[in-house]
Structures are given as C-alpha cells and as structure tokens.
Structure 1
Amino acid sequence: MSNLLSASDQFGIMSTNTSLQQSTTFSFWYFMHGSQIGTLALIVNDQTLWEKSGRQGLPAWHQANITLPVGAYLNIIFAANRTGTGRSSDIAIDDIVLEGES
C-alpha cells in the first residue's frame, strides 16, 4: 500500500455476497506499523463492525475476532487508508477465516 497510494487515498478488498445461516466468527491477523498509519476497518453491509487507527505497537501482528450477523446476504469489505505521503508505513492482513458454530 505505501508505494501505491497518495496521502488520504483508500484501498479496499470486497467479498462477493455471502449468506450466513448461523452465528459466524470472522477472524484475521493484521499488521499496522509506521509513522503515517491511517485506519483499517471491517465493513459489513455498509456498517463498520471493527476499526483500528494508528500504529498498533508490539507484537507487530494482532488478531481480530468479529461475530458476523446471521441473515440474508452480507457484503464484507476491508478498507484501509494512511495519513501521509511517506513510504514508512504498512498495513497488512493475513489468515482470514470464517468459522461457524458447531
């Protein structure tokens, strides 16, 4: 992201519509390090369910667990931005898992 975007630009990853018939946990690991980190958010059907801003400190990777609503079709979006034009900040996501109750 740091090499591709200007200050205040946003980047997003969007899922196809997903239907959940049971309570489901959406988990992922995230990395936010550098002096010009903006915000990383998880948006479901135009509602922000999780959000972090700024450098998140050590350990560098953190895990997030969000309970997703049961229902019709869900559109899941990761949205990220940064606050400056420098190349010293990184936001990354990894190990994205949808896990339903047994």
Structure 2
Amino acid sequence: MDKRNQLFAYLHIFASILTSCLVACAAHSSINEVESQVKCTFDAGLCSWHQSVNDNFDWTLISGETPTTNTGPSNDHTLGTAAGKYIFIETSAPRKLNERAALMSPLIDTWNHNYMCFSMWYFAYGSNIGDLRIILKQSKFVNKTETLWINSFQGSLWKQTTVSILPTGPFQIIIEGTVGSGYLGDIAVDDVAVTGGKCSNGTSGTNPSPVG
C-alpha cells in the first residue's frame, strides 16, 4: 500500500471512530434530562421509577395515613395533606423479617460523569423499623452495586437525606426498604430528586408529621 492509500485508510478509520463517538455521545443524557427522569413527588404515580422484580414485595402508593397505627406518617411530605401521595412498605403479615422491597430509577447515562446529588424525604417511625437504603447500581465498564446510605434516624417526622453520586458509567438508583422484627415498621418515602454537583450537606430534616 502506497503512502496515499495508507493515509486514506487511516482517515477512514478515524472517521468511523468519530462517527461512533458522536452517536454514542448523543445518547447520553444532560443533567437537565437526568433531573427530569429522577424527580418524583409520587402524587401522579411512580413517574419514571419502577418496582424491582428481584425483591420480595412492592412499595405501596398511598395517600393519608398508613393502615397500621403507631407507625408511618399521617400525610405525604409534598403537600402535607391527604390529597398528596407517597410510597411506603407495609410490614404487617404476610411480610417476614428481612424481606426487601426495591424501587428502581430508570437507567441513567451521562457523558461528563460529574457529581450529582440525590435527595429524598423519608419517614421511619415504629418500634420494629428495619433498614432503608439508597443503592447505586452501575453497569457497562464497571458492574457493581454499592450501598451509598442506610438510615440511622427514627422519629415521627419527615426527614431529608442527600447523597453524592459520581457515576463511572450508566447507573440506576435503588431505594430499598427492609422488613424489621414486627408490624410496627412501616417506612415511607417521598419527593425524590437529583441535581448537578456534590451535595452541600448530609442528612437534614424538618416537617414534623403526626404518626399514622
């Protein structure tokens, strides 16, 4: 192959690589698109989130108080009234100790892989509260699942937690609730969102709410 043909061959390879890159880059989501995909008040349903098929039971969408007294909130966090909705895990029978319910975000893929801040409000009150976790599931170049946060607070109020996420490839956020040692273990979640950049603070809380 002479030098001219060799140059044309190199240019063809470079053009193919560039085209592939442009196609791949176009498929990545901007931070505004990610914010729209993740944000959910649950007032109109689960938004872009979905129930996992690899757990033991599902999160329940509800308005007002949970069915069991002395656990769970009386209203949602968004509106603070019976008109608003939130999700919760019902830990009464037939649920058993350590059974899991997992809610999953859509698959998110961003090009710049910069920090993001995930936030949610949760209500964990009752004498048999189990675990509530925020889990990051990454795929493509790095296939791993890691727990980013686990609840340590219990009380009769809605509390916010925030966790910083630095993705290395396509990822999903998983909200997982676990059944505790008895029926007084309802855990509720509301107002999930993501914003660009690191979280400015850790867990914070407000909005006292009567117990359901």
Q: What TM-score comes out, normalization by structure 1 length?
A: 0.83
Q: Structure 2 matches for 1:1-102, cutoff 5 A?
A: 1-3=90-92, 5-20=95-110, 21=112, 22-45=114-137, 46-53=145-152, 56-58=154-156, 60-86=157-183, 88-101=184-197
Deviation of 1:9 after TM superposition, in Å, equals 1.1
**How far has the Cα of 1:57 moved from its partner?**
2.0
SS at the partner of 1:67? strand
CA distance in 2 between counterparts of 1:70 and 1:82 reads: 29
Give the gaps of 5 or more residues in structure 1. Answer: none
- Residue type matched to 2:122 in 1? Y
Alpha-carbon contact 2:91-2:180 (below 8 Å) kept: no
RMSD of aligned alpha carbons: 1.8
Q: CA deviation at 1:90?
A: 1.3
Could you tell me whether the CA contact under 8 Å between 1:42 and 1:79 is conserved in 2? yes
- 2: CA distance, partners of 1:6 / 1:83: 8
Percent identity between matched residues is 30
Checking the alignment, whether the CA contact within 8 Å between 2:123 and 2:188 is kept in structure 1 is yes
Q: Which has the larger radius of gyration?
A: 2
Structure number with higher strand proportion? 1
Structure having the larger proportion of residues in helix: 2
TM-score by length of 2: 0.43
Three-state SS of the structure 1 residue aligned to 2:148 is strand
In 2, the alpha carbon distance for the partners of 1:24 and 1:8 equals 30
Q: List gaps (5 residues or longer) in structure 2.
A: 1-89, 138-144, 198-212
Find runs of 4+ consecutive structure 1 residues off by over 6 angstroms. Answer: none
Q: Which amino acid aligns with 2:150?
A: E
